[in-house]
Structure 1
Amino acid sequence: MRTDRDYTIALLIDADNISPIYLDIIINEANKHGKITNARVYGDWSQERLKTWRSKAEKFSLTFVQQYANLSNKGNATDFTLVIDAMDLLYSNKVNAFCIVSSDSDFTKLIIRLKEDNMYLIGMGESKTPEVLVNSYERFYYIDQILEALEPKKERKDKNGNSLIPKKETIIKEVKKIIEDNLEDDGWAYWSIVADQLRKKSPGFDPVNYGSKLKALNFFKTFKDFEVKNEDKVAYIRIKHS
């Protein structure tokens, strides 16, 4: 059975869409899933505005892919280049996972196409990322929320209509439903099953989005709604009844 750490990953970053302040987070989270064997960042490197990106990316030996702003819609030009490279990597059979870093919904069709070839898909973007893109991935990281959690002294941004992070109450309701659907005879549910189904229903879920640095199981353990136990290194969870 393949685990998150078994993957060989192609990391593709849309520099026109993502700030370089997130690069350390991007590399750290991607590395949790396996080995990054291809790391590319896309943009028009002749532009002064990407100067900071270049200095940050050199730290991690990322490959700079040049896309001149010679079309009326420069953003789409960069998207096309990234999509072509992704398909080339797919057919090379050298990777079995992709991590695409962008908040641009134009990549949704690419993600669906890669999934058809059994690629493991990791996404990263800001809270403004459209839900249709977030839900296309197996796993999605809201990198702006991770940055805020790592820098608690930094003032948190006000929530706005573009934020698609589920409310805490919504996540708790989802977990309760998953537990109820997977109860064993003793009234407990295997945490591994609950966690897997939650990841599929809400790819963007991460305790860090709610100001917690705990792992998911310990995060839910803090709520009065749940009970958790471990037996022979197997974790279980159930709804706490009064």
Structure 2
Amino acid sequence: MAIKPQSTRQQKHLAVLIDADNAPAAIIEGLFEEIAKYGVASVKRIYGDWTGPQLGSWKKVLLDHSIQPIQQFAYTKGKNATDSALIIDAMDLLYTRRFDGFCLVSSDSDFTRLAARLREEGLSVYGFGEEKTPKPFVVACDKFIYTEILRAEAQVSSSDKPQPVVAGEPPSEQPREEAKPKPQKVPVDFIAKLIDDVSDEDGWIQLGALGQNISKLRPAFDARLYGFKKLSDLVKGQNKRFEIQVRGSSASGGESLYVRNRKSGK
């Protein structure tokens, strides 16, 4: 019988499971800010062999973010026992029926089947990994966020804070541009075809519905990969291909954005 989350919750309760061997500690600030967009991180666990020095960067941030470290010894050289421990815990948490979704933080394709299994039970799966993450794991998630974006945002955020000045030393400077990854080319043809496929008779589609359909086909799609903060900014930035229409009343708070492909000649 399928395990269904409780529909009476105002926010999704999420279990955050981090593979310390395949995720950098530098993402920590951006990671939980991103997770907060999708729900509440009710459980936060991180898996690895904490007896060695290789996870030292993670040890420094665990207490600050109330993340529970799970010790997993490497029983055999060259074999990763961390994956198995994370998967076993995920299934145990699944059958408590207390969660609406899981956040799997890793660039390891070994979690592909886990993501698919969790979705089979009707739960949402949010993946977090580097751009090198194999595609099977990416598409197995409902939404996949590349951690390069989170690291860049964290660096930009920290650069906004005033830096301490030591007497006799010039203040250090770090250009904001260096913190941002190079924007990718916007897939306008893909978006245009999707609008044609799912729009109404007049060619219009509500922007939120467009975003949902994009995520279904490309879980890793993120406006920030293309240099835009939100999907609305991305669409507006392609005004030669798309046109925007505002419907509803801003006074009542019922304002919605609609988009359609711009007709040739306009």
Amino acid at match of 1:28: E
Name the TM-score, length of structure 1 as normaliser.
0.88
Match of 1:239 in 2: 261
Partner SS, residue 16 of structure 1: helix
Considering only CA atoms, is the larger Rg found in Structure 1 or Structure 2?
A: 2
Distance 1:155 1:25 in 2: 13
Alignment match of 1:219 (pick from 230, 234, 238)? 234
Structure 1 residue 155: deviation in Å? 6.0
Structure 1 residue 56: deviation in Å? 1.1
Name the TM-score, length of structure 2 as normaliser.
0.81
Alignment match of 1:179 (pick from 188, 192, 195)? 195
Alignment match of 1:81 (pick from 78, 85, 96)? 85
Alignment match of 2:66 (pick from 61, 75, 91)? 61
Q: Is the 8 A contact 2:142 2:215 kept in 1?
A: yes
Measured against aligned partners, the alpha-carbon deviations of 1:203-238 in whole angstroms (never above 9, x if no partner) come to 11111112222x112211111211111101222101
Higher mean displacement: 175-184 or 125-134: 175-184
Match of 1:168 in 2: 185
Q: Is the 8 A contact 1:146 1:209 kept in 2?
A: no
CA RMSD of aligned residues (A): 2.0
Q: Does the alignment pair 1:41 with 2:46?
A: yes
Distance 1:146 1:40 in 2: 19
Partner SS, residue 94 of structure 1: coil
Alignment match of 1:8 (pick from 1, 8, 13)? 13
Which structure 1 residue ranges, 5 or more long, are not aligned? 159-164
Distance 2:90 2:245 in 1: 42
Q: Against the structure 1 CA distance between its residues 157 and 198, is the aligned structure 2 distance closer, same or farther, given a 3 Å change threshold? A: closer
Q: Against the structure 1 CA distance between its residues 157 and 208, is the aligned structure 2 distance closer, same or farther, given a 3 Å change threshold? A: closer
Measured against aligned partners, the alpha-carbon deviations of 1:6-58 in whole angstroms (never above 9, x if no partner) come to 21000000001111001111111111101111000011011112122011121
Partner SS, residue 92 of structure 1: coil
Distance 2:41 2:180 in 1: 31
Higher mean displacement: 101-110 or 229-238: 229-238
Alignment match of 1:195 (pick from 196, 211, 215)? 211
Q: Is the 8 A contact 1:44 1:69 kept in 2?
A: yes
Match of 2:168 in 1: none
Distance 1:57 1:123 in 2: 20
Once the two structures are aligned, what percentage of the paired residues are identical?
34
Partner SS, residue 98 of structure 2: coil
Partner SS, residue 21 of structure 2: coil
Partner SS, residue 65 of structure 2: coil
